[in-house]
């Protein structure tokens, strides 16, 4: 029986999350029952939504239970199978959580999916060709629905969602402007990801300054905005939005520690007849095949070249996760487990 290191949520954050909220435990992998599959995880995905799940407050998903393995996407390899569709050696993506192994009831729809690593590296199935990529696709295609020549903006521009968003928007003939933190990230956005411009929010740290920067980067105004952050960044974008602009709300990382995020000028929603729509990508599984097909082509053709930040070992997951919340990662944040 393989020894399985796991990280559980030990206690809930009081304000900002800390490494003390997590606990490393160890257990033996159980004997498989019929229809079950044992997966050895190669990579664990760290994503901002996990911070919201750590809270006990009401949200779109159930809170992460205390004492249980932290939720999280994983890619890895089947090492043992009692299900006819999976065999040892198959590369798979699932929601195995913050642990080295998982036992999956493979007969349950959507629990485990085989992936082809011929043209797409395994780790990319947690980023550009996985949940973050599909998130970018849904917000852009189904909510913003841009026309060629329109200007679209995304915050957290060089992360897993933002980088996919840029490639998808450029493929549709848009002017694409990013908002990211630091000169290196902004240079990467323009030089490698294909953004037409990228604004450094660390230089423009208030509403007035960021609004002026957006005015320069978006001379024809903003037609679509993909929101990952909230706070003064959303306020600045709304000030520069055109009539009938569309806003896809995916995340509000500025408020994940519990503080409220009031809007500075909500009258702009009426004045500009804005469409603002929040979404959870797991509620739209019907679009995943179409989205993943396009994203796989973009990565395979080199039009989308996502960057990854990789922490080593399950023990590194809590610190890497806190770094993600502070914007210390460059591109998709992963933990390498093998």
Read off the CATH number of the domain in which 188 is found: 3.40.50.720
Whether residue 276 is found in the same domain as residue 311:
no
Residue 53 sits at φ, ψ, to 5 deg, of -70, -20
Residue 151 confidence (pLDDT) = 98
**pLDDT for 97:** 97
Domain span including residue 271: 131-282
- By DSSP bridging, strand 151-155 and strand 175-180 are parallel
Are residues 136 and 164 in contact, defined by beta-carbon separation less than 8 angstroms? yes
The first and second tokens of residue 63, run together, are 């809170």
Q: Are strands 308-312 and 275-278 parallel, antiparallel or unpaired?
A: unpaired
Assess whether 194 and 329 both reside in one domain: no
| 119 and 257 housed in the same domain | no
Cβ-in-10-Å burial (0-12, 13-18, 19+) of 137 comes to buried
pTM of the entire predicted model:
0.91
At 59 the pLDDT is: 73
Cβ proximity of 247 and 154 under 8 Å: no
> Is 72 found in the same domain as 101?
yes
Per-residue model confidence as pLDDT tens digits over 265-322: 999 999 999 999 999 998 999 999 999 999 999 998 989 989 999 999 999 999 999 9
The number of distinct structural domains making up the chain is 2
- Domain match, 235 and 138 both: yes
Write out residues in the chain with pLDDT < 70, as ranges. none
Which residue has tokens 């939504």? 49
* Contact present, 250 and 230 (Cβ < 8 Å): no
Q: Are residues 122 and 164 located together in one domain of the fold?
A: no
């Amino acid at each position: 029986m393989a020894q399985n290191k796991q990280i559980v949520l030990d206690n809930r954050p009081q304000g900002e999350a800390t490494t003390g909220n997590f606990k490393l435990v160890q257990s033996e992998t159980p004997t498989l029952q019929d229809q079950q599959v044992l997966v050895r995880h190669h990579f664990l995905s760290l994503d901002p939504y996990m911070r919201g799940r750590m809270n006990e407050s009401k949200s779109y998903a159930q809170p992460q239970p205390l004492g249980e393995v932290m939720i999280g996407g994983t890619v890895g390899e089947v090492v043992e199978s009692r299900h006819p569709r999976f065999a040892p050696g198959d590369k798979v993506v699932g929601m195995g959580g913050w642990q080295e192994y998982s036992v999956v009831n493979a007969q349950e729809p959507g629990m485990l999916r085989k992936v082809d690593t011929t043209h797409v590296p395994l780790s990319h199935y947690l980023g550009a060709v996985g949940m973050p990529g599909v998130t970018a696709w849904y917000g852009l295609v189904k909510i913003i629905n841009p026309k060629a020549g329109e200007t679209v903006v995304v915050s957290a521009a060089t992360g897993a969602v933002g980088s996919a968003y840029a490639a998808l928007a450029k493929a549709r003939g848009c002017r694409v402007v990013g908002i990211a933190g630091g000169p290196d990230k902004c240079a990467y956005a323009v030089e490698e990801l294909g953004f037409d411009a990228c604004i450094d929010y660390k230089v423009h740290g208030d509403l007035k300054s960021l609004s002026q920067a957006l005015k320069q980067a978006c001379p024809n105004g903003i037609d679509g905005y993909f929101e990952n952050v909230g706070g003064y960044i959303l306020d600045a974008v709304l000030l520069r939005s055109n009539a009938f602009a569309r806003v896809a709300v995916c995340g509000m990382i500025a408020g994940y520690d519990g503080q409220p995020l009031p809007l500075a000028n909500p009258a702009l929603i009426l004045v500009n007849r804005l469409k603002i729509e929040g979404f959870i990508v797991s509620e739209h599984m019907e679009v995943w095949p179409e989205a993943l097909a396009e994203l796989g082509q973009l990565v395979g053709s080199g039009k989308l070249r996502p960057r990854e930040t990789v922490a080593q070992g399950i023990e590194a997951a809590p610190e890497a996760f806190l770094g993600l919340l502070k914007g210390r990662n460059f591109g998709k944040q992963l933990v390498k487990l093998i």
